[in-house]
Structure 1
């Protein structure tokens, strides 16, 4: 993909954020789009957001569970950036109009006590770097029409990032079994799905190690205080104005995303 096309693709995605109108799959418009091109397009958008005053507050790993890979038709993880503008308070109303076609998924969020820099990061290194975990709900969104995405499409679109809701009770890593921690996902009081932490690459910790090493190869360090979302425990579910979604994670706690009703916005 030539630099001019990459710049144009980034501009198209930025325009989708501004207008709320999704675009056609980039892999349709640019058939030679590679994974490397897609990450370059992602970084170009992040640079624009930073120039506008946003701050990087962490990273997300996506497509780590078999359920999400089946749902979106991909076969490997990806990553995106979490900006301060993406974070919402537990239980506080969220303006659904900020998103184009939102879905939501439960995760176990890591908060780092100290920097974590790859390559060469081991599970032991990752454990030593984690301060605590929190229950989390990630709002994923796509600037690609009808979620018709390939791996390269979602990478270019900042790994389909939208928003994050974190619980507010920190739990020490040694107080929870990340693999066996069960999850109940409710929408409007009805149980929608269940899962366990082991659905995320065998353990959410493996996703943290993967991210640190992949970013390290690019000279990027995971910083102290940053949030890392390791991937969804269940398949993502769609949300609409008025919906209330709650994830209950055994040994970790509960987190709620409350989407404002249309008339309240």
Structure 2
């Protein structure tokens, strides 16, 4: 893709998002065809949205479970960006009208104490651990806006250019003494209006939630990008996306990290 096409694609996607329209960039003749191109379009799109949404505050990682990748026909995880203005602390109240199709996920969240520099790659769980300030139970807020793609399109590319439907995050209490927690074995649950609707384990996320953070750091480093200090990274859902409606309450819990609560108004 030429620079002009990246600009055109990012502008098209931003205008569609802001007008609450169909995110059908993939149906256009200037759509990206590779993941490398898709991430460049994603960044242009997000840079345009930042004019109204403000600065970035973190990353989301999607398709970190084999079940989700198989369901979508995607071979590897994908990453998206999170605006700082869309990250809040639990208990939280969400305005349902802010979303076209609201859903939530249950994830392990990470706050970084220091920059994870591209120059330090390749990372492992052991080498990335000193960069972690705290872990927490985290809701991913998903806005499942309608999108379009031609038959046979690369579904990873299609997801990346929509920023993987990211709508923000709601964070539970931060746990700084996390090193003794067996995150792979930790059970996660989700309840809606007091009824449990899903459960899973940390091992469902690439075998261990911090493997997702390692993947992100190495993926960004391959593009010459570092992860800034203070950023939040949500590592991928233990439980598949679950829709929420007006008046619903939700609770998620991860063993060792505690609970988080939200309500939709």
Structure 2-normalised TM-score? Answer: 0.89
Query: Of 145, 170, 173, which aligns to 2:147?
Result: 145
2:93 alignment counterpart? 93
2:112 alignment counterpart? 112
Q: CA RMSD in A?
A: 2.2
Greater displacement, 138-147 / 12-21: 138-147
2:245 alignment counterpart? 240
Q: CA deviation at 1:208?
A: 0.7
Q: Deviations over 1:42-90 (max 9, x none)?
A: 1102222334461111111111012322443422101111111211331
Structure 1-normalised TM-score? Answer: 0.89
Q: CA deviation at 1:129?
A: 1.1
1:37 alignment counterpart? 37
Q: Deviations over 1:70-118 (max 9, x none)?
A: 4434221011111112113312210122122222110000111111123
Q: CA deviation at 1:252?
A: 0.6
Describe the SS at the equivalent of 1:202.
coil
Check the 8 A contact 1:247/1:255 in 2, yes or no: yes
In structure 2, what is the Cα distance between the partners aligned to 1:147 and 1:239? 25
Q: Which has the higher strand share?
A: 2
Describe the SS at the equivalent of 1:229.
strand
1:130-141 equivalence runs, <5 A: 130-141=132-143
Check the 8 A contact 2:64/2:205 in 1, yes or no: yes
Structure 1 residues 204 and 164: CA distance shift in structure 2, 3 A: same
2:256 alignment counterpart? 251
1:115-194 equivalence runs, <5 A: 115-118=115-118, 119-145=121-147, 150-194=155-199
Describe the SS at the equivalent of 1:173.
coil
1:198 alignment counterpart? 203
User: Which 5+ residue runs of structure 1 have no aligned equivalent?
Assistant: 261-265
Greater displacement, 69-78 / 249-258: 69-78
Describe the SS at the equivalent of 2:15.
helix
In structure 2, what is the Cα distance between the partners aligned to 1:16 and 1:98? 15
In structure 2, what is the Cα distance between the partners aligned to 1:12 and 1:240? 29
Aligned residues: 259
Q: Deviations over 1:119-151 (max 9, x none)?
A: 222221111111110100001224443899921
Q: Deviations over 1:237-264 (max 9, x none)?
A: 111111111111111100112111xxxx
1:201-216 equivalence runs, <5 A: 201-216=206-221
In structure 2, what is the Cα distance between the partners aligned to 1:132 and 1:195? 22
User: Which 5+ residue runs of structure 2 have no aligned equivalent?
Assistant: none
In structure 2, what is the Cα distance between the partners aligned to 1:146 and 1:199? 29
In structure 1, what is the Cα distance between the partners aligned to 2:170 and 2:225? 25
Q: CA deviation at 1:5?
A: 3.8
